[in-house]
Amino acid sequence: MEINHYEFKYSEFGNTIGVHINLRGFDILRFNNISKGTAFTIDERRKLKLSGFLPPRVKSLEDQVKSSLKIIEEKKNDIEKFIYIRSLYDRNVVLAHAVIASNVTKFLPIIYTPTVGLACQQYSSMFRQANGIHLYPGNINYAGYILGHYTDPDIGIAVVTDNQGILGIGDQGAGGIPICLGKLMLYTQGAGIAPWHGLPVSLDVGTDNEELLNDPDYLGWRHKRLKGEEYYAFIEKFVKAFKKNFPHAVCQWEDFSKQTAFNIRDKYLDELISFNDDIQGTGAIALAGILAAMKAKKEKMTDQIYLIHGAGAGGIGIAEQIETELVEQGMERKDAIDRIFTLDSKGLVTTDRELEPYKVKLAKDPQNFAWLNTKEDNTILNVIKNEKVTVLIGTSGQHGYFTKQIVQAVGENSDRPVILPLSNPTTKAEAIPKDIFEWTDGKALVATGSPFEPVNYKGKDYRIGQMNNAFVFPGIGLGIIASGATKVLPVFFSAAAHAVAEFVSQQDIENGILCPPLDQLKQVSLEVAKRVGAEAIKANVTQKGCAFAKFKHNNDPERLNTLVDKIRWTPRYFDEI
């Protein structure tokens, strides 16, 4: 490989152990993947001609982390903390990740949801430095050239968004790329995928957000969104360019909206190593929480009735995953679908309406329900009462929609109702955990999509489990990379869900907590990766080794586990430069 700026050195297992720098002087400090800042030793400064470009004191990484944490604490709010961490990342990747790793529970809500939603909304006004790839109609015909000249050629994971379905706040035009940047940070924090193996991509096909179109500071392509054939032709050009440049990389589709999300996921399942986290990742983490809830209830999933309020990508993704699990547990597919109800803004999704294709599979024939005679009968409360719903899931983004009456109605159908208000960010949650506890006399099993403080109920504090996709997608990505999987199979997400559920301790189960704590993110991701890799081997869809590693697993699960253990990167400075 020709060395333009620097070349990473990898161990037998594919983890980064050093870097060969073909630069000298101040230019080295411009590259965030290799810069140590004030941690360059005296010998390194002499060797790399950095003497005089840095103040005399040499600080350790630990000292740098302490200094950075002090600065962060002085910031007035989370968006300022987000800006500081991103600017730190732009200067020094290792230091930024070391800061996050010092307290991932504290920093995950800052680098990702809910704070990243604000970063998307303020993207143009707070722009400081270019990150990732921005493709739009003016350059999409040159996508192959652009991707081929990206700084880091050894891409393992790309997070790709068209910016339309951002975190409950909708169309953000060019502003969606902070989502990609945040997800890639979580790939590093959870799965140990080195930052230089990640690629953030914004597919800027315009925006229908009038506020952005009228904003003089807006940085995106100032046109209405491409639609129909024009839109899908744009996507096709990207896919061809991506596959040509990164044939072994995983493409994670992110925050595409509703029908578009399903169309693109399904079209490219076999053409790319790809998945949609909003559909499949959300389905997996929700299933993990339900599996944990069944342990707490001491009941079977096949005995429950499920109601999902919010029939978008996340809601239907959850329904698909529940259906898959019920079938795996022995139910006929038709019987499984009969137990899953979906609601959208018009009520229960029924076959007598004109529906988007992705909703059709779960639509109910209204003639099968004696209680459903008029439009006025089609309410969430009637579904809960008449169909005896025991698991209520919210993905609608409608804050406070799960009222006391609705929650208590589910409680009448089960001694331990499962209530999962999963909408992000926190301000979109369908119910507040504290209210759910009070409305059900503490009997409800609760988990949320956004972080909430522990609930004190009758003198005891209960941690609220966060059904965060971060428990799922980093490990799935690592499992695919390590195994050399050539496609992403539905069973990967089932395996991930069971792995996450098994990380919920018995004590947490007894206290009704349905998710592991975020400080176990690395351990959970590691187990998810091993389960996913094992399923890839079992399905015979692997290349017998990671693209970055000389070590080959040869379809031996034990060798694969060794590779997964050792491929992971941790934020520390290279000894070898």
Q: Looking at domain 279-577, which of 3.40.1010.20, 3.40.50.1970, 3.40.50.720, 3.30.750.200 is its CATH number? A: 3.40.50.720
- What pLDDT was estimated at residue 289? 98
- What pLDDT was estimated at residue 19? 87
Q: What is the pLDDT of residues 227-266, one digit of tens each?
A: 999 999 999 999 999 999 999 999 999 999 888 999 999 9
State what percent of residues in the chain have pLDDT above 90. Answer: 86
Catalytic residue among 112, 123, 268, 462: 112
CATH number of 60-255: 3.40.50.10380
- What pLDDT was estimated at residue 113? 85
Q: Please name every residue paired with 203 in a beta bridge, in sequence order, or none if there are none.
A: 135
SS3 of residue 333 by DSSP? helix
Q: Residue-wise over 223-239: b if at least 16 C-beta within 10 A, else e?
A: eebbeeeebeebbebbb
Q: Residue-wise over 241-277: b if at least 16 C-beta within 10 A, else e?
A: bbbebbebbbbbbbbbbbebbbbbbeebbeebbbbbb
Among 319, 344, 320, CA closest to 398: 344
- What pLDDT was estimated at residue 4? 59
Burial class of residue 308 (count of CB atoms within 10 Å of its CB; 0-12, 13-18, 19+): buried
Q: What is the pLDDT of residues 43-71, one digit of tens each?
A: 999 999 999 999 999 999 999 999 999 99
Give the pair of three-digit tokens for residue 65: 């982390």
Catalytic residue among 36, 81, 183, 237: 183
Residues 539 and 286: their CA atoms lie apart, in Å, by 24
- What pLDDT was estimated at residue 78? 95
CATH 3.40.50.10380 domain locations along the chain: 60-255
CATH 3.40.50.720 domain locations along the chain: 279-577
For tokens 């959870």, the residue is 190
| Mean pLDDT across 141-153 | 89
Sequence-distant (6+) residues with CB within 8 A of 5 are: 21, 22, 23, 31, 151
Among 176, 173, 175, 194, CA closest to 185: 194
Least confident of 125-134, 146-155, 549-558: 146-155
Q: Does pLDDT of 386 surpass 60?
A: yes
Q: Does pLDDT of 315 surpass 70?
A: yes
Residue 9: φ, ψ to 5°: -110, 130
Identity at 405, one-letter amino acid code = Q
- What pLDDT was estimated at residue 567? 93
Task: Tell me the pLDDT band of 166, cut-offs 50, 70 and 90.
Answer: confident
Sequence-distant (6+) residues with CB within 8 A of 205 are: 136, 137, 162, 221, 225, 226, 231, 234
Residue 472: φ, ψ to 5°: -115, -60
Give the pair of three-digit tokens for residue 160: 């790709």
Identity at 165, one-letter amino acid code = G
Spatial contact of 241 and 202, defined as CB atoms under 8 Å apart: no
155: left (phi over 0), alpha (psi -120 to 50) or beta: beta
- What pLDDT was estimated at residue 577? 64
By DSSP bridging, strand 198-203 and strand 157-161 are parallel
| Mean pLDDT across 384-408 | 96
267 is catalytic: no
- What pLDDT was estimated at residue 574? 87
Sequence-distant (6+) residues with CB within 8 A of 298 are: none
Where does 329-415 have alpha helices with state H? 333-338, 357-360, 380-387, 404-411
| Mean pLDDT across 391-420 | 96
- What pLDDT was estimated at residue 2? 43
Spatial contact of 486 and 541, defined as CB atoms under 8 Å apart: yes
Q: Contacts for 103-110 with beta carbons within 8 Å, 24 or more apart?
A: 104/189, 104/518, 104/519, 104/521, 105/517, 105/518, 105/519, 108/186, 108/189, 108/451, 108/468, 108/470, 108/518, 108/521, 109/78, 109/451, 110/78, 110/81, 110/82, 110/85
Cis peptide bond prior to 425, omega within 30° of 0: yes
Task: Tell me the pLDDT band of 5, cut-offs 50, 70 and 90.
Answer: confident
Q: Does pLDDT of 1 surpass 60?
A: no
Spatial contact of 447 and 466, defined as CB atoms under 8 Å apart: yes
150 is catalytic: no
Identity at 67, one-letter amino acid code = S
CB-CB neighbours of 300 under 10 Å: 11
- What pLDDT was estimated at residue 576? 62
Query: Taking the model in full, what pTM does it have?
Result: 0.95
Q: What is the pLDDT of residues 93-117, one digit of tens each?
A: 999 999 999 999 999 999 998 899 8
Task: Tell me the pLDDT band of 3, cut-offs 50, 70 and 90.
Answer: very low
Sequence-distant (6+) residues with CB within 8 A of 165 are: 171, 255, 256, 257, 258, 261, 278, 312, 313
Highest mean pLDDT range out of 19-28, 125-134, 312-321? 312-321
Sequence-distant (6+) residues with CB within 8 A of 456 are: 462
Residues 427 and 407: their CA atoms lie apart, in Å, by 19
Residue 341: φ, ψ to 5°: -110, 135
- What pLDDT was estimated at residue 20? 86
Spatial contact of 286 and 318, defined as CB atoms under 8 Å apart: yes
- The mean pLDDT value of the chain amounts to 94
Spatial contact of 260 and 162, defined as CB atoms under 8 Å apart: yes
- What pLDDT was estimated at residue 27? 87
Residue 411: φ, ψ to 5°: -60, -25
What interhelical angle do 104-111 and 93-101 show, nearest 10?
A: 120
Torsion of CA 274, 280, 282, 286, to 10 degrees: -150
Task: Tell me the pLDDT band of 512, cut-offs 50, 70 and 90.
Answer: very high
- What pLDDT was estimated at residue 170? 87
Give the pair of three-digit tokens for residue 459: 């003198």
Q: Does pLDDT of 425 surpass 80?
A: no
Q: Does pLDDT of 299 surpass 60?
A: yes
Among 297, 382, 298, 304, CA closest to 339: 304
Sequence-distant (6+) residues with CB within 8 A of 399 are: 423, 427, 428, 429, 430
Give the pair of three-digit tokens for residue 146: 């652009």
Residues 233 and 245: their CA atoms lie apart, in Å, by 19
Spatial contact of 6 and 33, defined as CB atoms under 8 Å apart: yes
Calculate the CA 531 to chain-centre distance: 18
